[in-house]
Chains A and B, each alone.
Chain A
Amino acid sequence: MIRYSFRRLALLVVTLWLLTVFLFALNYFFPGDPLTNMSGVRASNPEAYQQQVVARNFDQSIVMQYVSFLGHFTRGDWGQSLTTQRDVFADLMPLLGATLELSLLAMILAMVLGAPLGLYAAGQQRGAMDRVVMGISLSAYSIPVFWLAQLFILLFAVKLGWTPISGQLNPLFNIDVRTGAILIDILLSDTPYKKAAIADAINHLWLPVIVLAIMPATMLLRVMRNSMLEVLQQNYIRAARARGLSESRILWLHALPNAMQPVVRQLGLMFSILMSNIIVLEVIFNWPGMGSWLVKSIYERDYPVMQGGLFTIAALILLVNVLVELFHAWRYPQVRKELYAEH
């Protein structure tokens, strides 16, 4: 397991390094001056620009430029925004918090909804309810997320008025942004209206979380159902029955853990789908997170911000994938055997 973990983590480091090479190359691909794209300092400000030329080795070969880029990058100097002139890295942290809050809540909701429903459908195999559940899940899986968000806003926010149309919190609650995750920020703050603020935050949160959770939940449901049906046909389940183990013991201790295996393997994929949906959803719900920031930077051709957003989202996805894989290999040892056996 240790050897496997090292291999996987080394691969992650290599991947992240490749990502920085890609980012560096992007500065040349983007229209305009590479140094401006990288640092956010325009040539119209000759003094600062000259400073950057020296600091980022732009008077030297491209290899040295990359080395300097990597140095700045790892130190957290990701340049400044072309539109607001603010430091990208400092801006990014609270946005990341807001996005993580949304995605984690959605992921949890997806698991709470998807896994039991999948088990239920497996129990009703080929029965009427199974078909209904699977039909709904396939439809929900096919709804474009931005359309679903609009429909929900129309229904819940406009027609029923249960929830605000967009945003993260009523600006009247003057909450300092620290982590970006609104619930944590409220708890950390010293506002006298904590309870009201939390209620308001939850009121803003639930609609985007539900919209986000639907797609991963349906994926989870399908994987869970199919793998459960598969596992119940396996020899070791029959052997356990032959040994006279109780049905509930077979189900909870043998069938379920094994059925969870493909589910765990899918978690990484689910997270990356969630992230791509979050980009669009943050725009619709006007959520102050990574996604809307990234899209805005593309509109404004704000290349330093774009790089920062791109790297963060990609790194997050890669990290989650590696964590899922490590967990998978730790929990399901026979996977490791397959990995070693591969040539």
Chain B
Amino acid sequence: MQNTKIYFQQREPSPLRQIALHMNANPFAVAAAYFLAFAMLMMLLSPLITPFNPDEQFANAILQPPSWHESGEIRFLFGTDDLGRDLLSRIIAGSVYSLGYPLIAVFFAAVIGISIGAWAGMSRGVQSSTLNHLLDVILSIPSLLLALVIIAILGPSLLNVMFAITLVLIPQFIHSVHNAIYDERHKEYVTASRLNGVNRWYMLTRVIFPNITSAVVMQTTFALSTAILDIAALGFLGLGVQAPAPEWGTMLARSLDQVYVSPWMMVLPGLALFLTILSINILGDSVRAAIAERVRNA
């Protein structure tokens, strides 16, 4: 059969695919993605895979060092804490609090914040500029401080922490989406489609939104690392998730008294926290770099 493809045709990959290709070329981003996938899997399966009940106290194995230590036991891979609870089980179970709950908080904050931000971005005039000034003010106050205030009103508990974190993240989403839409709204292609007579809903969802995806993705990763950090910080201060729950920040706070005798109690949960935040930040950073690269090449 005759070959009709005489000319070598170069096909440009789609924008999302270009970003994926670019990220694939970065080994750190790939490693971070795998680590995060692993952490999520661990979180989802945590009731099944913990070797022991995270709250079970082994009276005969208090402050047992990790198994690689010479006086460690293979039974407790990461050792035990001052009440004789298995550290590995607690870290696995803690991922629900330290990764799962932030994910939920970010999800709600994103849904609410993006809708309000989109609405504000599409409206104009005083309404939008007042909102902008107000948001600037709220955002200049650290999220942890705002969360502390809300906790002070409501009292420390898991539900209140979730509420506080969600509430604190919403303005960030509003701000970034509002700004992104505001920047796009004055570009020619938007004017062109307005002249084509599209309605506002179509304009928002089909014309503008695809162009602010990158801003939304970056804000989401940023919000996720903020949420994890804030929940852990609140737990650390004893104002977040309450004591027996194996939240990583709370575990760190508990290790404060024991750090001289059993440093692993502090190092291991902290490491889990650090690796999780690091991989989220690496992912966010490489998404940003990939988008920047794509824009530059275009």
Contact = CB atoms under 8 A, between A and B. Distances in A.
Contacts of B236: 146, 280
A280 B233 contact: yes
B287 interface: no
A249 B105 CA distance: 51
Nearest to B155: A31
Contacts of B237: 280, 283, 295
Interface string B271-298: 0011001101110010000000000000
Nearest to B132: A342
B140 A142 contact: no
B251 to A, nearest CB: 11
Contact of A298 (B133, B143, B148, B274): B148
A308 to B, nearest CB: 13
A144 B285 contact: no
Interface in A146-182: 146-147, 150-151, 153-154, 158
B239 interface: yes
Interface residues of A, number: 46
Contacts of B144: 276, 279-280
A306 B144 CA distance: 14
Nearest to A280: B233
Interface in B241-280: 249, 252, 255-256, 259-260, 263, 266-267, 270, 273-274, 277-278, 280
Contact of B153 (A15, A26, A154, A276): A26
Contacts of A26: 149, 153
A242 B285 CA distance: 35
Contacts of B145: 275-276, 279, 310, 313-314
Contacts of A154: 259, 263, 266
A139 B278 contact: yes
B6 interface: no
Interface in B184-239: 225, 229, 232-233, 236-239
Interface string A293-311: 0110011010100100010
Contact of B259 (A29, A143, A153, A273): A153
B281 A138 contact: yes
Contacts of A150: 252, 255-256, 259, 266, 270
Contacts of A138: 278, 281-282, 285
Interface string A312-337: 01100110010000000000000000
Given A146-B252, A280-B236, A18 B278 contact: no
Given A144-B232, A144-B270, A272-B142, A318 B152 contact: no
A306 B252 contact: no
A-side interface mostly? helix
A155 to B, nearest CB: 10
Contact of A141 (B140, B148, B259, B281): B281
Contacts of A199: none
A65 B145 CA distance: 26
Given A138-B278, A275-B142, A280-B237, A147 B153 contact: no
A321 B278 contact: no
B250 to A, nearest CB: 12
B1 interface: no
Contacts of A284: 256
Nearest to B141: A314
Contacts of A306: 152
Nearest to A275: B142
A215 B282 CA distance: 16
B274 A144 contact: yes
Interface string A205-236: 00000000000000000000000000000000
A245 interface: no
Question: Which of A147, A269, A283, A342: most chain B Cβ within 10 A?
Answer: A147
Interface in A256-276: 268-269, 272-273, 275-276
A4 interface: no
A73 interface: no
B270 A298 contact: no
A142 B274 contact: yes
Contact of B140 (A144, A153, A279, A318): A318
Contacts of A342: 129
B81 to A, nearest CB: 15
A11 interface: yes
18 contacts: A18-B137, A31-B153, A138-B282, A139-B278, A142-B280, A143-B277, A144-B229, A146-B233, A151-B266, A154-B259, A272-B141, A272-B142, A295-B237, A303-B152, A310-B145, A313-B145, A318-B137, A318-B141
Interface of A: 11, 15, 18, 26, 29-31, 135, 138-139, 141-144, 146-147, 150-151, 153-154, 158, 268-269, 272-273, 275-276, 279-280, 283-284, 294-295, 298-299, 301, 303, 306, 310, 313-314, 317-318, 321, 342-343
Given A154-B259, A158-B259, A303-B152, 16 more contacts: A26-B149, A138-B278, A142-B280, A143-B277, A144-B270, A146-B233, A147-B270, A147-B273, A150-B259, A151-B267, A280-B236, A313-B145, A314-B141, A317-B140, A318-B140, A343-B129
